[in-house]
Structure 1
Amino acid sequence: MPAILCRLFKIKLNAFIKDLRENKIFGTVQAYVYTIEFQKRGFPHSHICLFMHSDNKLPTVEFIDPIISAEILEKVEEPELYSLVNEFMIHGPCGAQNMNCPCMMEKKYPSVVRLPFHLPNQQQIVYGEDDDIDDVLDKPFVAASKFWKRRKVGKAIDRIHSVSPNLGEAYFLRILLNKVKGPTSFDDIRTVNSQTYASFRDACFALGLLDDDKEYIDAIKEASHSGSDLSLSEDEVKNLTLFEIEQILLRNNPTLKKFTNMPYPNVKSVSSSNNRLIIEELDYDIPVIKNDFDRMFLALTNEQRNIFVNIMSVVKENKGGVFFVYGYGGTGKTFSWKTISAAIRSDGNIVLNVASSSIASLLLPDGRTAHSRFILPFELTEDSFCKINPNGKGKLGGPNDDKTIIDIPDDILINDPDDPIGLLIEFVYPSILERYSITNYFQERAILAPKNEVIQEINDRLLKKFPGDEVGYLSSDSICESEFFHYQFDANLYSSDILNGLKVSGLPNHKLVFKNWCSSNVTEKY
C-alpha cells in the first residue's frame, strides 16, 4: 500500500509541476526546486519553491489572495470541527494585537533554537585546517559531552531535529530527551528507577515509551503449555518465527538484516531459506496442483499429449533442452504450458513461467515477463546483457554465444525500401486482378502482421486494386446503458470520437469498407 500511495503522489506531483511550468497557472516559471518529505504515518508531501519571471512576481497581498485561499468551517453547521480548527490550526493574531499569544514571551517574539544531539563519543569537533590533530584530541572539550542547561538570559523555543527510526539508538535517545527532565549525562538519561540500562532502547521500554508485545508473548506461552502437538524447543520456535518474519519482509523488499538489534534466522536449519526465488517458487499447495494436473491431462488432445510426453521425458531424465511449439491462436499452446507446469510442480519441483509480454504472462500460473524475471534491459544494444550468474546451471553454451551470421534466403527478403508493403502484396498475391474471383487463390496464401495498423494498411491497399465502388458501414457510436445498471451512467464520459477511435482485438474497426467479390475473401484472411 505505501508503494502505491507514493506512486500516486508522484503522478500528481508531476502533473502539478506541469501545470506550474507549461500551463503557467501562476505565470512564467524560470526555475523550480522541491523536496519531498514523509509525515510520521508515512504520507508524503512536497515543498516547492518557484523562481518566477520578473513580470510575474507576486509582491502584494492583492496578487496572492486570488491564488491562495482557505475557508474555515461553518460554526453553526460543524461546531465540533470548527472548535478544533480554531483551537489547534489557527495562529494569531499576535504581536501588538495579542500579547498573550503563545508565541509571545515578555511582549517579544521568542527565537527558535535548534538543539543538536549525538550518541556517546560521536560529537562533532571543530578545528582549523592548520591545527595539529594531536593537540585537538588533547583538548578537554573533545572527550566531554555537554547536556543542555536552563537559559540564564532571555527565552527561546527549543526544537530537537527529527530522527528516523532506522537510526536505532539515536532515535531512542531523542525520545528520552523529550521525556526525561534534567539529565546531566548519558548514564543519567539511561537510568530508570535507580537502574541503569545498557541501551537507550531498553530505557525507553522501562519507561513505557514503546509499545511491547507482552500480551502476545503471554498468549504464545499459554498455548505452548496447553497445546499437545507443540514439541519444538525454544530455539526452534524462535528460529522459525524469525524465518516467517523474514519472509513477510522479503515480500515487501526489506530484510531483517537492516535492523541491527534484531536477530537473524539460522538459514541452514530451514531449507533454502537464504534464496528468495526458491522460497517464492515452492510456495504453492501441492494437493491442489495435483488435482489441477489430473483434470488438465485428461483434456489434452493427442498432439498436445505427444508434446507433453516429449518435454516431460527430458525433464525427468534431467537432460535439458529447448522446444519450440508452433500453432495458431486458440490451438491450446497456453493450455499445454499450464499442464506441463502443473505436472512439474505437483512433484515439488520448480517451474519459471515467463513470457515476452505482460499480457501473455498473465495467462500462465505465476507468470512473469522475461524482462522482470531475468532482469533483461529494455533498450538493447550490442553490449546489452542480462544479470544471470554465468557460473550457474543456466549458463549458455556453444560456439555462437557471442556473435554469429545467419543467412536469409533472397526470395523471402523485401528489397524495396520505398514501398515494402507494395512489394509484399505483389509477392504474396501475384496477378490478383485476374484471379481474385477464384476461391482457392485466397485459401493458399495470407499475410501475417504484428500490428493491427499494418493489417489495416494492407487491406486498404488491396481494396483499392479491385474494380467497383466502395461501400462503407459504420458501427454504433453509443453504449448500451444496460451495462451500467448498478451505477449511474454518464454519457459525457464516452464521446463519439472516443468510441469511434477504439481498436479492440477481436472486433472490427468503427468503419468497414467493402467491394463486390472481395469483401469476404480479403478481409477474413488477415
Structure 2
Amino acid sequence: MKKRHMDAMALVTTYGKPDVFLTMTCNPNWPEIQDELFPGQTAQVRPDLVARVFRAKLETMKDMLTKEHIIGVVKAYVYVNSMIVSYPPSFLTSISTLELYAMVVKHMMHGPCGVLKPKNVCIQEGKCKCRYPREFNKTTVQGKDSYPLYKRRKDGSSAKVRGQMLDNRWVVPYNPYLLRMFNCHINVEVCSSIKAVKYLYKYIYKGHDHTSFNIDIPDAQGNIDDIKRFIDARWVTPPEVMWRIFGFILCENYPSVLQLPLHLEGMHRVTFKEGDDLKNVLASDGADKSMLTEYFKTNRDRDDARHILYNDFPGTFRWLSTKVWQKRKNRVFQVGRIVSANPAEGDRYFLRVLLNHVTGSQSFQDLKTVDGVLCDNFRQAAERRGLIEADNTLDQCLTESAQWAMPVSLRRLFATILVFCEASDIRGLWDRHLKDMSDDFRRRHTCPTAVEQEVLLDIRGMLQSMGKDIKSFPLPDIDDNYDNTEGEAREVIEEMAIVVDEHDKSLASSLNTEQLRAYDEILAAVDRHQGGVFFVNGPGGTGKTFLYRALLAKVRGEKNIAVATATSGVAASIMPGGRTAHSRFKIPLNIDAEGSSCNFTKQCGAAKLLRMASLILWDEATMTKRQAVEALDKCMRDIMGRRNRPFGGKTVVFGGDFRQVLPVVRKGSRGQIVEVTLRSSYLWKDMRPLRLVTNMRAHNDQWFADYLLRVGNGTEETDEEGNIRLAEDICVPSTDNEVDDLEKPINHVFPALNHNMTDPGYMTSRAILSTKNDNVDIINRRMIDRFQGEEKIYHSFDSAEDDPHGYYSQEFLNDLTPNGLPPHTLKLKIKCPIILLRNIDPASGSCNDTRLVVRGFQRSAIDAEIMVGQHAGERVFLPRIPLCPSDDDIFPFKFKRKQFPVRLSFAMMINKAQGQTIPIVGVYLPEPVFSHGQLYVALSRATAKNNIKILAIKDNGKDKNEKSKKRKRSESLVTTTMNIVYKEVLSG
C-alpha cells in the first residue's frame, strides 16, 4: 500500500496536483444486469454479473477519458477500483429514457437532510457532514479551504426529491455527458489546490474495508473476555471477491513509475536461486551492475545524459533486461522514483539527497567531490553543496559576514538571527562573535564591560523595533547605569531622530491646486488639536506620496511627531520614517474576526508614540481589511481615553485608490458584495474625502492618463466577450511558441542588459509584471540565465512537520513554492535585483517588498543593498530563516522552508508592484487577470504609453494534440483582454 502511495506521489512531483477527482458508482439496475437475471433474482445474488458489467462500463469510461480526451488531454492518472456498488436505494432506478434534468434530480441531488431531515445518516452534530446545502454562487471560485465553490445559480429552479423541494444548492458536482452516457452516480470534483492530494490519496489508498463483530465464547469457568470477544476483521464484499477471481485490474497509474534502487558502493542487491553457487553468482554477467551504477556509466559514455537527474532518467532512457540504459526512441514516457530513505540511515540518505540535485555524476567518488575536494562521506558532500543544513550554519553566517559587514550591520544580523532563525546556542554565538560586533565601541571605550553594555543596548533597540524583548533571550543582563535613554520609549526616540530633508521642506510650494487644498485642510485639523479623519482618494500617479512628504516635513519641522505608515512595505519605504501599518500598530496578521484589537498595551512604547503624535498617516489603506483599521480605532480610543471620538480624537489621514487591487472580496447572491474593504467600515462615514484627480506621473501623455482612468473606473468600452481593447502600439504579437514570445517584452524592458548591469538605477527602474507566481518564476529564471556574473545557487531545507510516516518525499516538498515563499532553488548573481519577502527590520528599511541588489554572497549569508526609498544605499546581511505559508490551510500538512527570504525581481506579481512607480514596464498575460484592479495596477505603474508593452495570449485551448502542436501558426496581435472592476467599491 505504501509503495503504491509513493508511486502516486511521484506522479504529483512530476506533474503537480491533479486537476480532476472522479468517482463512478455501479448502478445495479443497469439494463445489462437486469436483462440477464433469472425470474425472481436480484443483483445482490449475482455478484459475478455485477462485476463484469461494471468492469466493462469502467473500461469504456477510462478510454473516453484517456484516449478520446472528453475533458482534456490526460497527461497522468491514478486509478483504484474499490468496487463500490450501491444497492437498491430508490435513486438508482433505470432511467435510460429520461432527460438529463431528470437524471440530475435522480442521481446527483444530495439530501434532503439537515433541517429537512435531521435524522438523515449524513448528519453529524446537527449539520450535514458534506456541507449541504451549499451557498448560491454566480461564478466558480476557490474557497478559503482550497476547495472550489462551484457556480450555483439562484434562478428559482427546484425539484421534488424524496418528498422535499430542493434547489441548485443541493446539486452534487457532475459531468452531464458522462452522466447521460453511463446512467449512474459519477461525481466529478475539481482539484483547485495541492491540499486535495492528501484527501485523494487517503481515499483511493485507504486499504481494505474493515468490520467489527463479536464472538461470545466463555472460558472454562464460564467467563467472557470483553476485549477478546471483539474482532477487527477485513470485510470482503461478494463483488470484490468476483473481481479478484476474474483477475480484473485493481489499480493502475499512467505513466508507469520505475522504482530506482538506492545503495552505497558495492552494496547493491543481487538475486539468485536457492542452491546456486555464490561464487558463480558473483562471477555472472551483470552481477556487478545496478540501475545506479549503469546511470554513472551512461554519464561517462554519453554527453547528452549528463544534464539529467537520476530521478528523471527513465523519462529519456529505458532500462533493458540486459541491465543497460538505452536512449528512448519512442514517445512512451516513464516516471522515476528513487526508493525512499530517512536520515537515520546515514550515508544512504545523504546519497539520495545528492542524486536528487546533482546531474552528470560518473561515480560514487564523483558525487563526493565538491569544488575539486574529495569529501570523506556523502553527508559532508551534501553540506558543502548547501543541500542539507550544517550544525554550525548560524555560526558560519556570522563568521562570513564579519569579513565584510560593519559592526552595526553585524549587530543587526545577530538580532535577525535571534528573532527569526530559531537559534539553539544563543549564548555561544554571543561569546564567539562579541568581538566582531563591538569593533566600533572598542575604539571609544577601554573598559570591556562598557563595550559589552553598549552592544547589548544597541541590540536591545534593534530587537524592540522587531517587536521583541531582549530579556526573552539568554544574553548578559543590561546594567541600567549605562542606559542613557532615560527610560524613553524606543519608538519615540526613533521618530524624534528623523531628520527632515531640505528638499521635502520645499515641496509645499510645488503642490498643485488639489494637493494644496488637502494640505491646508489637514494641517488646519492638526493645528486645532481637535482631530479629524481624512481619506485622500486618488488614482495612481496623482501625487499622493508627494502630498504625504510635504505634510510630514511640515509637522516634523515644527518638532512634532508624525507617524508615517502604509499597508505595503514598498509604499512605506518611500516615506521618511515610514513603517508598515502592521508592524507600527502591532496589528495581527490574520485579523478576520470582528472586534479584534492591536497587540500593544497602554504602557508600551507604541502607545506612548501614538499619544504624542500630532499626525498619523496610513497610505494604501484600501489594500487592507477593514478589521485592521477598526482594530486601530478601538485601541486609539482606549489609550486616549476618548471612546466617543474616532481614533481617540487624533488627526488621521488615510490614502489609497479603490481602483487598485483590494483585499478579499466575497461574492454574494446579489452580485459583488464588498464585506472587508475600508469603504464598508463603520468609520467610513467619519472620513472627509480629499480627491486628487490630476495624473502627475503621466502628465506628459494625456491620452494615457485618461485611458488609465477609464480602465480603473470600469468605463472603457468592452466587446461582446466583455473584454476591453488595448492600444495596438503597446501590444506585442504572440504565436504558439511562448518561449519566443517572451523575448519581446524582455527586450523592451531590459534593452542592452549586459551593458547596464552595473547601473542600479537601470535595474530598479524596470520590471515585467504578471498575474501568477508561476509566470513570474519563468521570466526570472530566463533573466538570471542571461545575466552575466558570478553565480551562486542556494537550496532550501524543507520539512513537513506533521508527517511521521514520511509520506511526503523531499523532492515533492522541494517542488512546492507557495505564495510569499522563496523557491527551493534560488539562483543569484552579483548585481542582480531581488525583492524581500518578509518584514525583517522595518526600522532600517528591511521590510516586505523592498527591492535590493545583490552585492555579495557567502555559503550562509547574502550581502545586499537597498535600492529604493529612504534607506537606499544601506547594506543588509541576510541569513536563511524558517518560513511558513501565511495561509495555514493551503497544504494538508504544516510546511516549513528554511531559505533566504528573497526572490528575483526582474519580474514580479502585479500585486507586489502596487505602490511602486516603475518607469519601464512589461505586462505578461498568458491568462487574463482574475481580481479587481489588477489590469489597472499593471498599466498605471508606467509613466507613459511609450514605456509599456503588453503580451496577451489568447486562449486557444491549452491541451492541443501533437499534430496541432507541430503545425506552425501565424503571428497574431492580441489587443483585447479582461478587465475586472467591482463598481460597487467605486461608487459605494
TM-score category (smaller protein): 0.3 to 0.5
TM-score normalised by the chain length of structure 1: 0.42
Higher percent of residues as helix = 1
TM-score normalised by the chain length of structure 2: 0.25
- Report which structure shows greater RCO (CA 8 Å, sep ≥6): 2
Between structure 1 and structure 2, the one with the greater Rg is 1
Higher percent of residues as strand = 2
